[in-house]
Amino acid sequence: MKFGIIKERKNPPDKRVVFSPNEIKILQEQFPDLIFKVEPSDIRVFSDASYQDQGIAVTDDLSDCEVLFGVKEVPVEWLIPDKKYFFFSHTIKKQPYNRKLLQAVLEKNIELYDHETIVDASNRRLIGFGRYAGIVGAYNAIRAFGIKFELFKMPKACTLNGKEDLVRQLKRQILPPIKIVVTGKGKVGVGIQEILTAMKIKEVSVENFLNKNYSSAVFTQIEVLDYNKRLDGTTIDTNDFYKNPQDYGSDFEKFTKVSDIYISGHFHGNGAPDILTQKMLQASDCKIKVVADVSCDVNGPIACTLRASTIEEPLYGYLPSEHKEVDVFHPAAIVVMAVDNLPCELPKDASEGFGQMFAQHVIPAFFNGDADGILARARMTHNGQLTERFQYLQEYVDGK
């Protein structure tokens, strides 16, 4: 079986890759019938030579590969018909800007597997860059606080050599006794917690966070029922929230009154209530000074996320009284960090971690008859049609 690693062609350039040279070497030792080819790239975090050093062919011709792996969307003109493709297609939420991509996938008889659709039997995602988004997002939050209050200056994450370098930078800084609230305990939340813990910032309970004062920086990590409440006042469980989000409203205001930094690492489902509203941000007792929106839903549940920011310019100011963007150093501005491609700032770490997950959860499925149904659940298209699991996209494909 032949697999191919394609060159990333979407702009802005993305240095990440699904498999590092070392991970491919391990896979080929584990599965002797597996052959990898790599398309040349001058932007990939791992050089062409690093693959060749492992005996992996680097070639422009991937036409004999059955399966092709990429990270970002493949430009329509570069799609090879009748292949199996794995990449983030950004179509499963009916994103209008990628309708033509999914149409082309169907027209070219491509079997598409979106990385986001790779889930276990309980529908839990198995593959993603979320942890690295959390790591960089937490770093950027602390960096933003230092910039806003002229306490310290740290280099951008993208100029450093990996997670350990980020941690070294953070440990050099002295924080005042601030409070940091984090939403979400999934992969993104794990990455955020990893960084805050590495900085020796103490994690405290929700109750203590809301009611106690501390002489050093602390954080609390909260779940959906910590910051949402049922509108009728009854107390139900998390399953009820996910099934009936329309019956809930945000209860995040109690955190805005005591928090200096808010880092978002949550998943916000359709129909769920907004979390941090304009009204909360305009309240006279709102203490929040920095919002690091790692989830980055523009015009979504966090009112101050007016737009996505960039790796080059990651911060902007938000003026609550006028609900508009201002300079970061405006006296009344809340600093917003809303970079929507944070893992790109740690391309080597992110690629290595992603490849390890892929090797563990996906590659065996090609050799064991897909015993766990990994490929069957993830397959979006087959024989020029949407699969049953993704029939809900038909109207989107039809342009309706």
Active site amino acids:
72, 90
- Tell whether residue 82 is among the known ligand binding residues: no
- Contact assessment for residue 305 and residue 293, using Cβ atoms and an 8 Å cutoff: yes
- Contact assessment for residue 390 and residue 138, using Cβ atoms and an 8 Å cutoff: no
**CA 348 to the chain's CA centroid:** 16
How large is the C-alpha radius of gyration of the chain?
A: 22
- Contact assessment for residue 13 and residue 43, using Cβ atoms and an 8 Å cutoff: yes
- Tell whether residue 124 is among the known ligand binding residues: yes
What is the DSSP annotation of 253-298? HHHHTT-SEEEE-----TTPPPSB-HHHHHSTT----EEEESS--T
Helices (H), 90-219: 99-107, 130-148, 163-171, 187-198, 206-211
C-alpha distance from residue 268 to each of 15, 23, 75, 191, 294 (Å):
28, 33, 28, 18, 12
- Tell whether residue 131 is among the known ligand binding residues: no
Please state the residue numbers annotated as binding site: 124, 237, 294
Please state the residue numbers annotated as binding site for NAD(+): 124, 237, 294
